[in-house]
Structures are given as C-alpha cells and as structure tokens.
Amino acid sequence: MSEAEIPRQRLFFALWPEVAIQQRMAYWAERCAKSCGGKRVPEANIHLTLAFLGGVAPEQRGCLEAVVDEVTVAPFELSLDRIGYWSRSRALWLSTTHTSPELLELAMALRAAMSVCGLKVEERPFRTHLTLRRRAHRGPRFREIDPIVWHATNFALVASETHPEGARYQVLRRWRLVASSE
C-alpha cells in the first residue's frame, strides 16, 4: 500500500464532559434556539476541543499516544460562566472568564506532542470554548450565566467522522489528569 493509500483518521483531543454536565450545557444551547438560530450541537457531542489534529496516519497516532503518556497536568476546575458568539464561524459557545493555568498547560502540552510527531500545529492562540450551536445568526442577549462547575479529571483522543446528518464522534482513548508528583 502506498503512503497515500494508508487510511488516516481525523482526530482531535478534547475534554469530554460527563452526561450530567452535558445536560446542563445543552440547556443553554436550547435556551438560545429562537434568538440565535442555527442548529444545536447534540447533547452527547458537546465537548471542549483541546487540539485539532486533522488526518492522522497510524504511525503518527502511535507516536502521539506515546508522547501523551508522559504528559503530567493536574486535574482542574472549569467554571463555565459566559456565553458568546463568533460571527466568522457562526458558532455559539460556552466559556469561562478565568481559564485555569492547567487547562492552558494541557493544551500547550498537546500541541508540543503534535509537533514532536510531525503534525501541523495550530498557530492561533488557544481559546477556551464549547460549541453549543453552529450556523447561528447572532449571539444571545445575555452573556453571563450561573456557572456550570466542571471538574476535569481526564482528557480524550476522539475520532471525528462527517456524515450527512452531522459529525459523529468516538472517544478512542482517555488519559487521567495527574500532577507530576503522583
């Protein structure tokens, strides 16, 4: 099989919330349905993208998993207290006023792993967000919400497949967040 024929998986790293937290997030996606328009992200698909990898060859995935096995970042808390809208991508999202240093550290460690394994790294700064609606026309009238407090204890490698009905995600592997001394 030539290199061009080797199947590549479309992958990304994410924080994947537990169901109870996804339900609370989905409430805000629905709350904005009328005023914001667009299509809501299905509840089970709501996630925080840490790093988008694009098409990954099997040996690159092996490299990434080995490098990521060595990542040590302590568990952290996210207090999601803000809703916003990007007009360019027409995305309605949930975010936090205070991004914890551990979240940034994790996102940067994953970018470093990508670089080690020969994957192209996103140049734009990391921006904490969980997409709630796509192809929305406008943002919500309110910006601040009662915080959804989420304890992040692990992160995941996820496969993304595009289907006519939308994206289908499959969590392939999870890593526990651990402080370096544990």
Contact residues toward ligand 3AM (CB under 6 A) are 12, 49, 52, 54, 131, 160
Handedness of CA 116, 119, 125, 127 (dihedral sign): negative
How many angstroms separate the CA atoms of 41 and 159, rounded? 16
Task: Return the number of the residue (52 or 126) whose C-beta is nearest ligand 3AM.
Answer: 52
Task: Return the number of the residue (166 or 179) whose C-beta is nearest ligand 3AM.
Answer: 166
Residue 182 Cβ vs ligand 3AM, minimum distance, rounded to whole Å:
29
Residue 181 Cβ vs ligand 3AM, minimum distance, rounded to whole Å:
31
Residue 140 Cβ vs ligand 3AM, minimum distance, rounded to whole Å:
17
How many angstroms separate the CA atoms of 10 and 57, rounded? 9
Residue 180 Cβ vs ligand 3AM, minimum distance, rounded to whole Å:
28
How many angstroms separate the CA atoms of 65 and 53, rounded? 13
Task: Return the number of the residue (109 or 156) whose C-beta is nearest ligand 3AM.
Answer: 156
Burial of residue 118 (number of CB atoms within 10 Å: 0-12, 13-18, 19+): exposed
Task: Return the number of the residue (9 or 131) whose C-beta is nearest ligand 3AM.
Answer: 131
- How many CA atoms within 13 Å lie on the side-chain side of 60? 21
